[in-house]
Amino acid sequence: MRKVCFVITSHIHYARSKRILRELRHHPEIELQIIVGASAILPNYGDVLRLLEADGFEADEIITMTVEGGNPVAMSKTTGLGIIEFTTAFHNLKPDVVIVRGDRYEVLAAAVAATYLNIPVAHIEGGDVSGSIDESVRHAVTKLSHIHFTTTDQAAERVRRMGEQPDYVFNFGAPELELVTENHFEVTNEFINRIGVGDAVDLNKSFIMVIQHPVTTERDNRENIQKTLDAILELEIPTVWFWPNVDAGTDQISNAIRSFREHHNPSHIRFIKFLPAEEFLALLSKSACLVGNSSAGIKESSYFGLPVVNIGSRQSGRARAENVADVDYNKEQIMSAVQRQIAAGRYPSSQLYCKADTAKNIVDTISKVKLYTQKRFKD
Amino acid sequence: MRKVCFVITSHIHYARSKRILRELRHHPEIELQIIVGASAILPNYGDVLRLLEADGFEADEIITMTVEGGNPVAMSKTTGLGIIEFTTAFHNLKPDVVIVRGDRYEVLAAAVAATYLNIPVAHIEGGDVSGSIDESVRHAVTKLSHIHFTTTDQAAERVRRMGEQPDYVFNFGAPELELVTENHFEVTNEFINRIGVGDAVDLNKSFIMVIQHPVTTERDNRENIQKTLDAILELEIPTVWFWPNVDAGTDQISNAIRSFREHHNPSHIRFIKFLPAEEFLALLSKSACLVGNSSAGIKESSYFGLPVVNIGSRQSGRARAENVADVDYNKEQIMSAVQRQIAAGRYPSSQLYCKADTAKNIVDTISKVKLYTQKRFKD
Amino acid sequence: MRKVCFVITSHIHYARSKRILRELRHHPEIELQIIVGASAILPNYGDVLRLLEADGFEADEIITMTVEGGNPVAMSKTTGLGIIEFTTAFHNLKPDVVIVRGDRYEVLAAAVAATYLNIPVAHIEGGDVSGSIDESVRHAVTKLSHIHFTTTDQAAERVRRMGEQPDYVFNFGAPELELVTENHFEVTNEFINRIGVGDAVDLNKSFIMVIQHPVTTERDNRENIQKTLDAILELEIPTVWFWPNVDAGTDQISNAIRSFREHHNPSHIRFIKFLPAEEFLALLSKSACLVGNSSAGIKESSYFGLPVVNIGSRQSGRARAENVADVDYNKEQIMSAVQRQIAAGRYPSSQLYCKADTAKNIVDTISKVKLYTQKRFKD
Amino acid sequence: MRKVCFVITSHIHYARSKRILRELRHHPEIELQIIVGASAILPNYGDVLRLLEADGFEADEIITMTVEGGNPVAMSKTTGLGIIEFTTAFHNLKPDVVIVRGDRYEVLAAAVAATYLNIPVAHIEGGDVSGSIDESVRHAVTKLSHIHFTTTDQAAERVRRMGEQPDYVFNFGAPELELVTENHFEVTNEFINRIGVGDAVDLNKSFIMVIQHPVTTERDNRENIQKTLDAILELEIPTVWFWPNVDAGTDQISNAIRSFREHHNPSHIRFIKFLPAEEFLALLSKSACLVGNSSAGIKESSYFGLPVVNIGSRQSGRARAENVADVDYNKEQIMSAVQRQIAAGRYPSSQLYCKADTAKNIVDTISKVKLYTQKRFKD
């Protein structure tokens, strides 16, 4: 039995990993270990522990590591504390291999701790290109990892170019897209209006979604979000707006939203912290346009053919389908792009990030690939 | 004035960086900041603070971060604590750019902290290939860094292949080699026999040196060092033996040496913790052979043409001159290689890692290169 | 010049310490150092850094130490991280004496760090008795401190009984009461209704205030706050309600309040995060009754003769004037006590915690008392 | 079944707690949990993990927390890291009660973590009076603890005076004395000369022991130890000398000893890191005099009637029998006191710290005492 440790550090990460977790649980030669930590254990950011339990999983270790502050100092100290905590967790669980995903600081913390404990790391979603600090962290995690599950051929090529062993680079597509293609999710007016703040939204009429996170490498997160707030205010289209994630700059964005609400008391916007994965996908599939800088605009939306207005640098460099219109932090650009995208309507569904059996292939590979610890740059 | 922060985390690192520090201090457009931390502040591993002061430098921040244990857990927690501490130091000093060097965990800690604080990182010695955990850490630091000073053309090529901006990859040679070429250092019998333990060594007669550090990715550090101890015991050649660095596995090696000393009470070996840079180079230049797995066997020794017996995987992959004989962890192989290398005598001096004006070129570049924070993989 | 380091770890602590800070700044033989940390640097809990600047002070060190979670694990890890951070700050500032105040975990962290660095600690507000974890922490801080400024004679007697040197126990009264007696503060409808959420409140009409913090040693914080919410809902008296502090249990209370707001949408309650010291005192002096478990109900309110309904165990044991009515976590008890207290009207002003020249006496003592590090239990 | 967690943080602590651990293991209503951490897991300070295993115990959690440096900053950061680590361990084990012992920083870390997690703390050896930082820490731990097992009546009286509940203060004597009275331990020349460094010692002839630890509240640890080294050198009596513990100042002492050894190469002194409990007691019972500042000179030695020369302030204030001669840091005083004490020979055995059934009484009490979390100062 191979002990496989899956690391969950945010609500969205859990949502995107469900299929893999199910495969891991059922694989006869795998003993699944789950670590839940960082914002995934903060009720304000989605209580993953309760969701896990509801889905029949159990957390083997819970990691408290988020240093409050919403600024670069707090983010950096969170990473340091995270390494200290993941070291203890891995040392207790003694997994044969650790699976991490993405490009956030919690993931870097887990990868560093596993590295020093000589535990091989499998990394999902390496080789992508984007903006923000994520761009640096993603590739650093690649260079600490031993097994790579990329989501596009281009990403796989980049991982190989970075000197990784070609035999250990696999492109099985994006796991979250596999969940999307299940395509049978529902969300009701009642559900959406029971959570969050602001006026009720009617999902049977046309509405848009806004998800705009901080860009840690930029100093003007407050100014930037203001452009989006002004645009959405003036557009007067019913809107479901998601609060930002915990990255440095989150306080500037949250404060801008709060002050906007107090000042304008907008009647066409509902503000929501987060949704369970299924309801989120149902909402996405129903909406007329997604505005902001979430990777859901690039990935999940490509399958739906959902018109997206992508703002600023956060997703720049990521492979995208034709559904995405890129704009600057500029009220007029945002407004006209939203109007054009809504008018255009649905794009054809794209298979850019989709492959069949993503989760199954990842788990099969994890179960039988020969594990190694000593890395060596492949010239 | 550009504020340039130089990070010193070990005695050997300080020794190798003196020329750069001198250039930084004298550059009219640079304000030098120095952070000293990790083993560099531990008296047992070389009291860098006292050396700095003697050389006319001052530490702006002192970082206490080494978690005791000499095992993987301690090493990993040291990295985590180091990030927490470097974050505070960088936040206090607010440098425009940070210079780090090498591939150790303290360097990873500094690079991660600088990254999250949006401070550009200049990295010396990226692109090398080696064994041990250093191989992973070195390339991860490259992917977090913005300016790269490699020590060979091959290393520069690897850094570019990893997606770094070609305009920011410079090969000015290895700084420590520049110090070596000063070539005027002295060490006396009196000096060497006042420090360390064991019998006196006469540097006017033929002697060899042993420096063998732990390999963190291997489990048998005690067994491996035993082979070297047995070989040196049987060779009966006067020997100056250096205690290992603080990497995981250091306790196994130290215990093996202690038990060897108690058991065999060898009269031809002097055990030394560390030497100041100048005395170390003088000793190297006088010795008949260097045995073990130190990078000094690959780098400094290449210039001296010093015969080297390189044991095991720690330096595998690093570009080397003809002076190096590679052997396994095997008593007979070590013994016969040492005898052959001593018989062979000095090799021609190699320029493999040498370039003129290394420190000057690095500092000139640092003083005027356009700084940036947002990285982007160069396809 | 004696270097005196004043530690500020929360908004309320800053408010209560202004007079002391002013005296410290103006004392000719004192060099004032200020450390701001913990929730005092979190914008959501009162941006002390901005207030300090407005008042002409400067933070010499800023400490990021709050681990998010609002539960016992997060609180404990915050204390640990706090010690690591205060150690760095004290080591950088090298004060001759550190002044801390109160009974919270940030204060324990500061006291432990100062203790190990052999820096004498002056502690304000030792010897009080209360509930919650504060009761343990307060006395532990006393046993780590060298100079004691208590706020009542009874407290001074307890500190002496604990074995502290009688010569170093001073009762100069409570500093926050001295601020209260300045008595000239104003707060306007406009001010109060520009911040917080909920319906506008008219301060010219009768209103009450609610401040109820978690009790960390009890498990039922959510259930307990529900009683207060139900009581206030049914009372239908205009209310200014303050969100809870960051102690373990804060999330249960915040969630209960949020769900209460969504469910009942009460039109007579305004919810506020915090107020500047002056506006807070003005509000207190205008209100008809204070409900909850804040120490302001025991201390500041005693001077105003403000009727207080004190709920549960958090303040049990603290010396109190006749203005306080104690009740259990019980809706009916709370309702009838509020009605009785409002009907009773103002009590006579009490001098229980008041002495003249509190801040001046504290600072004079700090400036000239003989400092010592080695403690010795006084039998 | 009551889950009782026993915390072991040093080799000497383990030695002194064996009887309690045996009683805990065999008690039918107790489930024993063991946490081993701090210097107890460092091979250089006694490999408690191996000893535990040999004695049939198992560590449920292992805590890596010692920050290297041997100075006040390292000691303070160790305490902070320790709280972070103990929090995780206690959260994993969820004990009903934690037992800690003594006055060191690891114990403070454990007590703080348990306090914030609302786990009752039982403290052994509260109420003693001594010098060094231990004096502050010991009483702070008392104020965080719920159940007190003191070792003298005088100590019990102090604990009650500090406001602890009289029903929870028990004086059952010192556990280590109970081990001493077993009185059947042996140590051989062969054993003692196989470990440590220096010349062989013959235990069948008259010899003395030296144990001198740093005093953290004094700045002159190096100067102070020099007096002892000079005295012992000149006395020329065969000596077994123990290296100091890890407290701040340990490096000054270690360096002084190393430089003394290199310089004088004394033939009558054997230097030892530590001994197992049994061999240590056997050595103590055989020796002619104990010199230094160890609590073993006050406690264990009182039962043996062993002449003790106690140097400096570390043990000042602790109740003592007639076997102790107190001297200053002064070569002449030390020399003449050692000569007088050896001439005086054995003192009568003292029962000062001895009571029958100490371990049994402690464990019986732990098994059935009513547990509580909310503390309250007893006026």
In whole angstroms, what separates CA D250 from the centre of its chain?
A: 16
Helix (H) or strand (E) holding A36: strand A30-37
CB contact under 8 A, B81 and A82: no
**What integer is the mean pLDDT of B121-149?**
97
Q: Are residues B336 and B219 in the same domain?
A: yes
Q: What average pLDDT does the structure give for chain D? A: 94
**What integer is the mean pLDDT of D156-173?**
98
CB contact under 8 A, A135 and B81: no
Q: Are residues C208 and C261 in the same domain?
A: yes
- Top residue of A62, A68, A79 to mutate, by most chain C CBs within 10 Å, is A68
Which among B42, B64, B74 has CB closest to D64? B74
Which among D108, D132, D375 has CB closest to C136? D375
Q: Does residue D105 form part of some domain?
A: yes
Report the 3 state secondary structure along chain C. CEEEEEEECCHHHHHHHHHHHHHHHHCCCEEEEEEEEHHHHCHHHCCHHHHHHHCCCCCCEEECCCECCCCHHHHHHHHHHHHHHHHHHHHHHCCCEEEEECCCHHHHHHHHHHHHCCCCEEEECCCCCCCCCHHHHHHHHHHHCCEEEECCHHHHHHHHHCCCCHHHEEECCCHHHHHHCCCCCCCCHHHHHHCCEECCCCCCCCCEEEECCCCCCCCCHHHHHHHHHHHHHHHCCCEEEECCCCCCCHHHHHHHHHHHHHHHCCCCEEEECCCCHHHHHHHHHHCCEEEECCHHHCCHHHHHCCCEEEECCCCCCCCCCCCEEEECCCHHHHHHHHHHHHHHCCCCCCCCCCCCCHHHHHHHHHHHCCCCCCCCCCC
Q: Which two tokens stand for residue C133?
A: 């974890």
Q: Are residues D148 and D202 in the same domain?
A: no
Which among C62, C84, C91 has CB closest to B84? C84
pLDDT score of C251? 86
DSSP string, B307-350: -EEEESSTTTTS---TTEEEE-S-HHHHHHHHHHHHHH-PPPP-
**What is the C-alpha separation between C362 and C359, in angstroms, rounded?**
5
Q: Are residues B237 and B309 in the same domain?
A: yes
Q: Which pLDDT tens digit goes with each residue over A222-253?
A: 999 999 999 999 999 999 999 998 888 998 99
Q: Which two tokens stand for residue C233?
A: 């809902």
pLDDT score of D47? 79
Total Cβ atoms within 10 A of residue B204: 9
On whether any CB of chain D is under 8 Å from the CB of A66, the answer is no
pLDDT score of C136? 97
What sign does the dihedral D210-D211-D216-D222 (CA atoms) show? Answer: positive
Report the gap between the CA of C41 and the closest CA in chain B (Å): 15
Range of the domain at A248: 189-344
Residue A51 neighbours by CB under 8 Å, 6+ apart:
A11, A14, A276
Which residues on B lie below 8 Å from D40 (Cβ)? none
From residue A316, give the alpha-carbon distance in Å to each of A134, A319, C53: 11, 9, 39
Q: Token match 């006319």: residue?
A: B56
Q: Which pLDDT tens digit goes with each residue over B259-300?
A: 898 789 898 999 998 888 889 999 999 999 999 999 999 999
**What integer is the mean pLDDT of B223-250?**
94
Which residues are bridge partners to B34 per DSSP?
B6
Identify residue B74 by its one-letter amino acid code: A
Q: Does residue B183 form part of some domain?
A: no
Cα–Cα nearest to D200, from D113, D145, D269: D269
Cα–Cα nearest to B211, from B323, B328, B294, B325: B294
Q: Does residue A379 form part of some domain?
A: no
Q: Which pLDDT tens digit goes with each residue over C206-224?
A: 999 999 999 998 889 999 9
Percent of chain C with pLDDT over 70: 100
Cα–Cα nearest to B113, from D85, A64, A112, C41: A112
- pLDDT of residue D43 exceeding 80: no
Output DSSP code: residue B112.
Answer: H
Q: Are residues C224 and C196 in the same domain?
A: yes
pLDDT score of C60? 96
Closest chain A CA to residue D80: A81
Report the gap between the CA of A200 and the closest CA in chain B (Å): 38
Contact D33, D10 (CB under 8 A): no
Q: Which two tokens stand for residue A312?
A: 């600023």
CB contact under 8 A, B67 and D69: no
Q: Are residues D13 and D153 in the same domain?
A: yes
Cα–Cα nearest to D152, from D316, D301, D353: D353
On whether any CB of chain A is under 8 Å from the CB of C64, the answer is yes
The CATH number linked to B307 is 3.40.50.2000
Q: Does residue A224 form part of some domain?
A: yes
Task: Indicate the angle between helix axes D221-235 and D331-344, nearest 10 degrees.
Answer: 50
pLDDT score of B75? 95
Which residues on C lie below 8 Å from B88 (Cβ)? 85, 88
Q: Does residue B184 form part of some domain?
A: no
The total number of structural domains in chain D stands at: 2
Task: Indicate the angle between helix axes D72-93 and B72-93, nearest 10 degrees.
Answer: 120
User: Looking only at Cα atoms, what is the longest distance across chain B?
Assistant: 59
Q: Does residue D92 form part of some domain?
A: yes
pLDDT score of A295? 93
Which residues are bridge partners to A35 per DSSP?
A7, A61
Which among D62, D84, D92 has CB closest to A84? D84
- Top residue of B39, B68, B259, B263 to mutate, by most chain D CBs within 10 Å, is B68
Percent of chain B with pLDDT over 70: 100
Q: Are residues A148 and A264 in the same domain?
A: no
pLDDT digits (tens), chain A, 379 positions = 999 999 999 888 898 898 999 999 999 999 999 999 998 988 777 779 988 999 999 999 999 999 998 899 999 999 999 999 999 999 999 999 999 999 999 999 999 999 999 999 999 999 999 999 999 999 999 999 999 999 999 999 999 999 999 999 999 999 999 888 887 889 999 999 888 888 889 999 999 999 999 998 888 999 999 999 999 999 999 999 999 988 889 989 998 998 898 789 898 999 998 888 889 999 999 999 999 999 999 999 999 999 999 999 999 999 999 999 999 999 999 999 999 999 999 999 999 999 999 999 999 999 999 999 999 999 9
pTM for this one?
0.94
**What is the C-alpha separation between A186 and A184, in angstroms, rounded?**
7
Which residues on D lie below 8 Å from A88 (Cβ)? 85, 88
Q: Are residues D211 and D289 in the same domain?
A: yes
What sign does the dihedral A224-A225-A229-A235 (CA atoms) show? Answer: positive
- pLDDT of residue B45 exceeding 80: no
Which residues on B lie below 8 Å from D65 (Cβ)? 67
pLDDT score of A157? 98
- pLDDT of residue C182 exceeding 90: no
33-52 in B: which are within 8 Å (CB) of A? none
pLDDT score of A346? 96
Contact D100, D111 (CB under 8 A): yes
pLDDT score of A356? 93
Identify residue A125 by its one-letter amino acid code: E
Cα–Cα nearest to B121, from B78, B156, B86, B158: B86
CB contact under 8 A, A43 and C81: no
Q: Does residue A132 form part of some domain?
A: yes
Q: Which two tokens stand for residue B272?
A: 């030394």
Output DSSP code: residue D330.
Answer: -
Helix (H) or strand (E) holding D36: strand D30-37
Q: Which pLDDT tens digit goes with each residue over D239-269?
A: 999 999 888 899 899 989 988 987 898 989 9
Size of interface A-B (CB pairs under 8 A): 162
Which residues on C lie below 8 Å from B62 (Cβ)? 91
DSSP string, D177-246: HHHHTT------HHHHHHSSEES---TTS--EEEE----TT-S-HHHHHHHHHHHHHHH---EEEEPP-S
Which residues on B lie below 8 Å from C91 (Cβ)? 62
On whether any CB of chain D is under 8 Å from the CB of B197, the answer is yes
Contact A280, A299 (CB under 8 A): no
What sign does the dihedral A141-A143-A146-A152 (CA atoms) show? Answer: positive
Q: Does residue D374 form part of some domain?
A: no
Task: Indicate the angle between helix axes A105-116 and A134-144, nearest 10 degrees.
Answer: 20
Q: Are residues B23 and B149 in the same domain?
A: yes
Q: Are residues A207 and A239 in the same domain?
A: yes
Cα–Cα nearest to D366, from D106, D8, D121: D121
Q: Are residues A193 and A105 in the same domain?
A: no
Output DSSP code: residue A196.
Answer: S
Report the gap between the CA of D63 and the closest CA in chain A (Å): 9
Identify residue A352 by its one-letter amino acid code: L
On whether any CB of chain C is under 8 Å from the CB of B92, the answer is yes
Q: Which pLDDT tens digit goes with each residue over D266-285?
A: 989 999 988 888 899 999 99
- pLDDT of residue D44 exceeding 80: no
Q: Are residues D61 and D152 in the same domain?
A: yes
**What integer is the mean pLDDT of D10-28?**
92
